[in-house]
A and B are shown apart, each in its own frame.
Chain A
Amino acid sequence: MGFYETTYILHPALQEGRLNDIVKTIQKKAEALGAEILYSDNWGRKKLAYLIDKEKYGTYIFLQYKLSESSNLKELSSEFEHNPNVLRYLNIKIDKEDVFETSKKEDDSKPINNVKESTSDNSDKSKEPKNNEDKDSNSEEEK
């Protein structure tokens, strides 16, 4: 048993509807292999740092999930490997504390909140806006 995260890059020529279909089928396949999806995000279309399959752009999809059997990760990887729409993927084993909250805005810098989440749901809702502010201030610093 373990927690994992996968980032994969989808082909840039896919239309939005088709893209969502592929994301859904991949999620279903993951669930069929015993993965419990905890967080998923679309990072959107980004410029690649170098060409992959002669493509300049790609759509990044990010997934975090819990696998009951780690041997299933191999099968899941072959799923990505053989899917012609996936340009590149990366599986990483993570700790339970690294899992983002299911709320739409992510925040990995506050693992304490995740622990509290299991005890009380109400307190978390009040904390969410604070997290967003933190995230905004971070991005300003980057600029």
Chain B
Amino acid sequence: MAILGKSKICPFKEDADLIKKINYKEYKFLKKFITDQGKIIPAHVTGVSAKYQRLITNEVKKARILALLPFVVDPRQN
């Protein structure tokens, strides 16, 4: 998915409403923070601050258990 710009400014510090969207139920929003292969994008790429990166990883992992997000996507299959 698209990396939120390439800015080094944390998107959650600019818009506080986005913080509430860090939730496994908002898996469509969390897709912005995983790659096409399903990996969690490191914070130094997205510019997310450490505080919110911790939340994101936890919520992505919950969404993966419920099959809302993939653990892995094999690029050869698509």
Given A109-B20, A142-B29, A48–B62 Cβ distance below 8 Å? no
Q: How many B residues are at the interface, by size bracket?
A: 10 to 19
Q: Which of B17, B29, B71 contacts A50 (CB 8 A)?
A: B71
Main secondary structure of the interface of A (DSSP, over half): strand
Report the separation of the CA atoms of residues A7 and B69 in the bound assembly, to the nearest whole angstrom. 14
CA distance A16 to B66 in the complex (A): 21
Whether, in the assembled complex, B49 has its beta carbon less than 8 Å from a beta carbon of chain A, the answer is: no
Question: Which residues on the A side are within 8 Å of B71 (C-beta)?
Answer: 49-50
Cα–Cα, bound, A58→B68 (Å): 11
Task: List 24 A-B residue pairs with CB atoms under 8 Å apart, sorted by A's residue number.
Answer: A7-B66, A9-B66, A46-B68, A49-B64, A49-B68, A49-B69, A49-B70, A49-B71, A50-B67, A50-B70, A50-B71, A52-B67, A58-B67, A60-B66, A62-B25, A88-B65, A88-B66, A88-B67, A90-B62, A90-B65, A90-B66, A109-B17, A138-B21, A142-B29
